[in-house]
Structure 1
């Protein structure tokens, strides 16, 4: 049919924002780990928390690329705040003992400042992620690949 894109083109269009967001997530995760492990604690700790929350917000957009930045930030912050508040209980240690890959996420003590850093990071991650998804989608429209 004239005017209809082949299924493979439609699939590529649908997946392009997700691939770009996944790439952003990998970069954010890597920079966050480097910040936590290579920078002095007064800088690396908060920057690591900001980037961890940014990662969560970006991952929200990977799952649903058309999510508004405000909603991605709210979900990202909510998840990070839940983890931060969970640290007030004995559960993080029990969970980390049962499944060691959780230890890096749950090993810190509760920090009220962590809630602030999580809010900042979730907002930054959501804005950056939404911009990437929008830019990839618009770039494909501008290049004539979108019908």
Structure 2
């Protein structure tokens, strides 16, 4: 009788950070939604913006776990800033009318403070994502741990 199926080491190295980052993304998304809907002003919306940006960064790392932390943070901030700046146009309202599910992501009004909160969230998301990915990544050969989220130097 064959023994239990074993996951090849390469799969374990590739899947562990991605699964941990996905779990982090789910937690950040849930806490962000609770913050926006349950916390009073002036705390709810800014914390929601911070956690939304952190979520975007963590999702970048889920999709590309070997992305450099700084790159993931910059991409996350750029996406959030683009959405914030898009609120200066009538497009978000038109999209939300056509697809109501997009309304929470697009928001309604531009907020200059939203750009600041997005930058804070992107930085926190990058730090948290890198820490989680590094914590679950199996150690590689000595001297090979880099500054990528998954702790590998592969390009």
TM over 0.5: yes
Q: Give the drift of 1:41.
A: 1.8
**CA RMSD, Structure 1 to Structure 2 (Å):** 1.5
State how far apart, in whole Å, the 2-side matches of 1:7 and 1:62 are: 20
Aligned residues: 135
- Any gaps of 5 or more consecutive residues in structure 2? 1-5, 141-155
Q: Give the drift of 1:34.
A: 0.6
Matches within 5 A, 1:111-126: 111-126=111-126
TM norm structure 2: 0.83
Match of 1:91 in 2: 91
Structure with greater helix share of residues: 1
Q: Give the drift of 1:11.
A: 1.7
Match of 1:3 in 2: none
Q: Which runs of 4+ in 1 moved over 4 A?
A: none
Match of 1:48 in 2: 48
TM norm structure 1: 0.87
- Any gaps of 5 or more consecutive residues in structure 1? 1-5, 143-147
Q: Give the drift of 1:7.
A: 6.6
State how far apart, in whole Å, the 2-side matches of 1:81 and 1:129 are: 20
- Give the stretch that moved more between structures: 69-78 or 6-15: 6-15
